[in-house]
Chain A
Amino acid sequence: MALQEAVLEPGVRDFDIQPHRPRRGTVAENDSMNRALGWFSVGLGLTQLVAPRELARFIGIPDQPFLLRFLGMREISSGIGILTKKEPSNWLWSRVAGDVMDLALLGIALKSDESNRNKVLMAAAGVAGVTALDWMASRQSSEASGRILGLKTRDGMIAGRTAMTINRDRAELYRFWRDLENLPRFMNQIQSVHRRDERISRWVAKGPAGVRLEWDAETVDDRPGERISWRSLPGSRVENRGAVEFEDAPGGEGTEVRLRMEYRPPAGVAGALVAKLIGQEPEQQMREDLRRFKRLMETGEIPTTDGQPSGRSMMRRDRKYER
């Protein structure tokens, strides 16, 4: 069995599905640069948290304290991550993510009439400089680890796993999942699944920027009440594979459900990074899919606030935070 097929193997429960061992020394060599970037993050983050309005005024963008504070928290946590983690690569990547986000925001600000162009350009130049440093530092330390920006990757595939306990019978959960046409009810990215025959199904998903993606997948392993695994057929536009396992939870607390997936992102790992920046982190999305599955199975519906009133109803959608 080839290494990359491992995700299809039983034993989803085994947490360490992709051992990676950082090369010794890599981190230490970059120590002082890492530390400087770490402190820069903490400092910037504190400024964003404490004085969002002043900072907004200083860099010349419209006053959005909540957003700036949120970015501040992210900066501080990535700064602390860099300063304290033995193996800082994903924290460094989150700095890069942060930089790109800041640049994007400054880009938006540049278009808005409320901003002061010169100030924004100055700030952008500053951020771009730091981005370059971040990029170098993270490239160096992530070469050793197989993780980019918290994305677990192997051979250019994005990998993720997540687990939840569902207060339902194992057989019932299996049955619902086994009827693949049910999957779009809780998998946000999947628009439809049609069965061709017992083994082959046609999947339609919405990809980044609303692109329609289609592929055929085959069911590899189907053990009633225990596990289902699948993979895309060779030559598919979106190469992917996954497995879900069902196990009785101890103490009669329902069923432990574990989900693992790997896919080759249509726009490459870089595309996946961009997706992550706009809040579509693959592993988090898997977790939310599994959570929706849990909610649907336990309560018969998926709680939402999408469509409720608010004092900002002039906005089309009121679903800022649901993933």
Chain B
Amino acid sequence: MVGKAAGNWRFKDKVLNDLVEVVTLNINSVSYSRAVSSLMTLSHFIREECDLTGTKIGCDRGECGCCSVLVDGKPILACLVLAKFVQDAEITTIEGISVDGQLTPIQESMVENGAIQCGFCTPSMVLNATHLLNTHKAPSKNQIKKCVSGTICRCTGYTKIEKAIEKVVEGRE
């Protein structure tokens, strides 16, 4: 009864037993068609099939927030979505937010304000902040706290990430 491998690898065995289908996703305005398990999650599709490894997988269960991507502009957790389920959507990963290879204001602000340590949570923090800044001209402190609340950061203690977002807002005024 004792398992030899960790849970995620067991899950991989499990998905490989599922039916294979061709799934076509629009990620960062590029169309990716891949023959994958019908039940493959978006996070595995992005990382393993498209080699877009900026999206991280921490818990694979919706609890750490590190796999956040934008689906039709809104942050969702790629580990909780089946790839085939979002075939009709526009998906944006961290690789897709910069314009002409330039860092966006929030990315720059994160660098300048020391909001990145190990960097594991950073893609998710940036995408969640991008959504907040796109939808709110001047988000309140509370809205900023809420925005970072869905991603666990083990390094920074959150204050520097919040400050990085605040600085972008200040720069707008």
Q: Say whether A and B bind each other.
A: no
User: A-side interface residues toward B, CB under 8 Å?
Assistant: none
